[in-house]
Chains A and B, each alone.
Chain A
C-alpha cells in the first residue's frame, strides 16, 4: 500500500497541480527520494546543494515533525502520510550575506584600494606623522574591519577608540536596550539613551565621532547558527561578552574561521586580556579547556565591577585590534595580561598553544560549532518559568510571598546578599545573613517556620536553599528572580541596582 505526501501550494506546479502524491518506500527519506524522482523540479527547492533537506523545509509524518523522530531515517508504515510544510521567513537586509546581495564589501580590502581625503588627512594627522602608522598604516586601518561582540562595558571604549582611530568598518552585535545601571561604565550610551536599543545609541555616537567609517549593526545574540556568517566579513573579532557560553562560542568560531580574537574580561577590580586564535598562537580553550561549573563565577551583574575597569581592558582590546590591522609591534599572542586595579599592577602569564586542544590542536575534535549552553552545563529554563508559575516545590514567587505576608502568615525572610546590597533595598522584615556566613550562622534560623531565601536575582539564594536543606531545614524556599523581581512585581518604590 503506497503512502501519500501532501504537497504545499508553492510546490504544486511541480506535481501537475496535485495536492497529494502517492509514493512508496520504507523510510521518510525513501518516500522523499521517490517524490523527487517522479518530480525532478522539486529537488532544488527541497534539498540544498549538499544533499541535505533545506532548513526551511519541514516534514511531518502524520502530524509529527520528523526532527523529533528519526529525521529522514524515520520508518514509515503503510498508510502513513507525509506533509511538506514550508517555513516562511525573511527579513530586512542586515546579515553579512546581504552585503553580497547589496554589492557591498564582504571580506578584507586591500589598503591600496582606499584613499584618504583632505578632511581625513586632517583628522588623522597625529597618526600620519608617526612612522609606525603613516599614510599607509592609516589606509590599512581604513581598509580594516572589527566586529565587536557586545556594546556594553568592553565594547563601549573599544568601539569608540576604533572609530576615532579610523577603522573603516565596525560591526556591533547586541540585542539589549540601554539601562540606567549601564551608565556607570558604558560610555557609548548617555542618560538620554536609556530605553533605546544599544545599537541605535552606539551607531549615533560612533557616527558622530567619525562620519568617515561604516558601522554595521546586528540586533541578535551570537549563536552557533549565525556566528560564522557574522564573523566572515571582518578582520578581527573583539570579544566583549560577559558569559561563558558566548565566550567559548566566540573562541571556537574565531578558530574555525581563522579570525584573531581580541579578548577581554572583567570582574570587580580585575581584568584580563589576550589575543587568541591566531594561526600560530593559543586559543581560549588552550587556557581553559573546560568552563567552570555554572554559578561558580559570578557575573558583573551579581558581583559588581569598577566602572573604569572595562575602560582600561576595552582600550587594551582596541589597541591589540589596531596593532593586528597595522601589523606593528608585539601583539598579546601567547600572553595573558592580568590587571589589578586595586593594586594598580599588571601581570603577564605565558600561554602555549596546546597540541591536544579540542578546537585548535593537531587533532581537533570540535570541528563545528556546538551547543555552548549545554557545554557550559546550563540547562534551558523550564517552560513554566514564562508563565510565572513556580517551577518546583523549592521555589516561590514574589507575588505568592506578598500574598502570604498580606494574609498574616509567619514567613521568615532570609536575605543572603552582602550588607552593602542590603543598604540599597530590602524586603521589609527580612534578616540579613550573607551567603558566605551561612555555614556558621544557620543556627540563628528557625526550624519551625517557613523560610524564604532571596538574593539579588535568585542565584545565591538557590545555593543557600540547597545548603539549608542539606543541614536539615525542611521548609526553605528560594525566591525566584530575587529582590529585583520583588521590586518589579510588588514594590516598585524601591530602587533597583
Chain B
C-alpha cells in the first residue's frame, strides 16, 4: 500500500508549507483508492504555538468530510509541515493519530519545502509505519 499524489497536490502541499513557515500548515487529503486528487488547506488552530503544533478544528474536519462526499471521493488523511525539523512523525503526531488515515509530513527548512513522507498508524497505536509516497 502506498499513497499517490498528483503533481498539483504535491505542489499545493509544498506551497502551503512554505507559505505558513515558520509556522506549521495543515490540510486534508481528498481522493480515492490511495490517490490524492485534491487538498483542502485548513487553518492551524493550535493554542500551543503554531511553530511546533497544529490542530484542525472539528468543524474543519467536518468540512473536509463534506468536501470529500461532494466530489464523490473519500477523506484519505491529512498533511502538515515540520518547520526546520525532519519529515518524521513526533510523539504528538502519534498521540493524536487516527487509524487508516495517511499522514503526510513535509519538512520545510528556512522557508523552502524539502522532504515529504507519508505515515500510517499501526493497528495497536504503538507507532507509525512509513508508506510509499509517489508523486
Which residues of A pack against B, CB within 8 Å?
A: 8-11, 13-14, 44-45, 56, 58, 60, 65, 85-95, 97-98, 100-101, 175, 197, 219-220, 226
CB-CB under 8 A from A58, the residues of chain B are 58
Known contacts: A86-B98, A89-B96, A92-B82. The answer to whether A9 contacts B90 by CB under 8 A is: no
Q: Assess whether B96 is in contact with A85, with CB atoms less than 8 Å apart.
A: no
Smallest CB gap from A13: residue in B: B100
What number of A-B contacts does a CB cutoff of 8 Å give? Answer: 115
Please determine whether B98 and A92 come into contact, CB atoms closer than 8 angstroms: no
Given A8-B61, A10-B101, A60-B58, also A90-B88 (CB < 8 A): no
Interface pair A91/B98, CB less than 8 Å apart: no
Chain A's nearest CB lies how many Å from the CB of B38? 15
Whether A95 contacts B91 by the Cβ 8 Å rule is yes
Q: Residue of B at shortest CB range from A90?
A: B93
In the complex the two chains form, is B61's CB within 8 Å of A88's CB? yes
Q: Knowing A8-B65, A85-B61, A88-B61 are in contact, say whether A98-B74 is a contact too (CB < 8 A).
A: no
A219 and B26 within 8 A (CB): no
Counting from the closest, the 4 A-B pairs by CB-CB distance are: A90-B93, A91-B53, A92-B85, A10-B98
B16 CB, nearest partner CB in chain A, Å: 15
CB distance from B83 to the nearest CB of A (A): 7
Asked if B32 CB lies within 8 Å of chain A CBs, one says no
What are 29 inter-chain pairs, A to B, with CB distance below 8 A?
A8-B65, A9-B75, A9-B101, A10-B100, A13-B99, A13-B100, A44-B124, A45-B99, A85-B62, A86-B61, A86-B98, A87-B55, A87-B61, A88-B61, A89-B54, A90-B53, A90-B89, A90-B93, A90-B96, A91-B24, A91-B52, A92-B24, A92-B52, A93-B88, A94-B90, A95-B90, A95-B91, A95-B92, A226-B48
> Which of B91, B94, B96, B101 has the most CB atoms of chain A within a 10 A radius of its CB?
B91
B90 in contact with A92 (CB, 8 Å): yes
**B80 contacts chain A at the CB level, 8 A cutoff:** yes
Tell me which of B51, B55, B85 has the highest count of chain A C-beta atoms within 10 A of its own C-beta: B51
- Complex contacts, A175 vs chain B, CB 8 Å: 49
| A219 proximity list for chain B (CB < 8 A) | 49, 51-52
For A98, the chain B residues whose CB sits under 8 A away are: 90-92
Q: Check A93 against B85 for contact (C-beta < 8 Å).
A: yes
Closest partner residue, chain A, to B22 (CB atom): A197
